[in-house]
Amino acid sequence: MSVAILRELSATPEASQRELARSTGVSLGKLNYALRALVDKGWVKVGNFSRSQHKLGYAYLLTPRGIEAKAKLTKSFLARKMREYDALREEIEQLKREVGGG
């Protein structure tokens, strides 16, 4: 979940929490909880900005530590997915051999 949130924040720092929750597929409460944790870790900085004359909004900006964390999490995520892919492919090949299809 952290990778998806960091990716979305990087792409759209001005998005509302509701928009971020929708785009990452998590509940608003879960997103709020995760954002607070990311701020506490120093990976995200919250800044105020004016969306219009009558409304105050927030920007969620990745800090340098957040950018580094995003890169590490992405690398770890991709490595895990590649291992899963390799294991699944091997399992499929084994099943093909068992049924005589390969």
Strand-pairing partners, residue 48, are 58
Q: Output the CA–CA distances (angstroms, integers) from residue 10 to 38, 61, 80, in the order listed.
A: 13, 7, 22
Helix/strand/coil for 101 = coil
With residue 46 as reference, give the H or E element that holds it.
Answer: strand 44-52
Q: Is residue 65 part of a domain?
A: yes
Residue 32: phi and psi, rounded to 5, are -60, -45
Tell me how many domains the chain contains: 1
Q: What is the CATH number of the domain that holds 67?
A: 1.10.10.10
10-64: per-residue pLDDT in tens? 898 888 899 999 999 999 999 999 999 999 999 999 887 655 444 456 788 888 8
Q: Is residue 90 part of a domain?
A: no
Q: Alpha-carbon distance 88 to 37, whole Å?
A: 34
- Predicted structure pTM score: 0.63
